[in-house]
Amino acid sequence: MKENANIAKARRSYARLMAAASKSDDPRLERVFELVPREAFLPPGPWKIMVDNEYFETPSADPVHLYQNALVALDATKGINNGEPFLHAAWLGAAAPQRGDVVCHIGAGSGYYTAILSVLALPGGRVEAFEIEPGLFEAARKNLQAFEGITLTLGDATKLPLPASDLIYVNAGVLAPPRSWLQALRPGGRLIFPWRPSDDVGLTLLITRTDTGFEAKPLMRSWFIPCVGGASTADGFVNPPDLATAWSVRSAWLSSERAPDKTAVVAYEHVWFSSSALR
């Protein structure tokens, strides 16, 4: 009983920190981080926690060690981790998943943040989750059985069709979002993803579909493993931006709808980013 009480106390403290990191006044965010047990989505402990690009093993298999802002290895040999909680809290605050939303989660991993998204989308919403690694897909399938409104697909989300979505939440580094992701956004829909326009630049980019186009907003530095199918150099890729230039992005355009102009920060074959805000 003492161990369970300690874990519950650690979860409550962790949840308060996540709510603060989210910079959101949505009380559901604190509650969901308290309710969804992180240890249920990880391999058996002790666990490997990453600090400054090096793994350190927790002193025991006590889940209390997991309730901190730390990357925890899912597959240390491939550098695949359960993502940094403060970062995801900030993303959730910015992307603001709502009850009734259709959410696409690309890069579900072992399912921890998929579960959190599903709780936030209920009642009335659902999560369509994609995972390309067979081992992680199988882990997520088992881990998510107790959660409602989730469909999990094994495959490459850059090539598979996405449903019309209120939120597309991407957990793998992307050079340029596929055309299909932008076209899947409903009016008011948000796409949040780690933008990797070069090896030296990694930013979280939030794209919102408005009546006049795709608004783009850089949020914070972020580094994820590459998204298969969305990270290699695309045909037509020119002039990778430096960090300062990448921060200047304010809108995104499909090249089929509008040709790049002098405001282009970077242009790809099918999409380009502009320093000009939508009007």
Q: How many CA atoms lie within 13 A of 240 on its CB side?
A: 14
Under the phi-then-psi rule, with left for phi > 0, alpha for psi from -120 to 50, and beta for the rest, what region is 143?
alpha
pLDDT at residue 162, as a whole number: 96
Read off the pLDDT of residues 210-262 as tens digits, 9 standing for 90 and up.
999 999 999 988 776 655 555 444 444 456 888 889 999 999 999 999 999 99
Token pair, residue 279, equals: 């009007």
pLDDT at residue 228, as a whole number: 53
pLDDT at residue 221, as a whole number: 85
CA end-to-end distance (rounded Å), the chain: 59
Residue 61 CA to residue 248 CA, distance in Å, equals: 45
User: What 3-state DSSP class applies to 85?
Assistant: helix
Angle (nearest 5°) at CA 163 between 160 and 165: 125
pLDDT at residue 235, as a whole number: 43
Residue 229 CA to residue 212 CA, distance in Å, equals: 28
Token pair, residue 32, equals: 């969901």
pLDDT at residue 177, as a whole number: 93
Residue 265 CA to residue 245 CA, distance in Å, equals: 7
| Spans of the chain below 50 pLDDT | 1-2, 231-237
Strand partners, 129: 105, 152
Token pair, residue 191, equals: 């796409």
pTM for this predicted structure: 0.93
Domain spans, the chain:
1-86
Handedness of CA 157, 118, 168, 192 (dihedral sign): negative
**Closest Cα to residue 83, out of 113, 54, 53?**
113
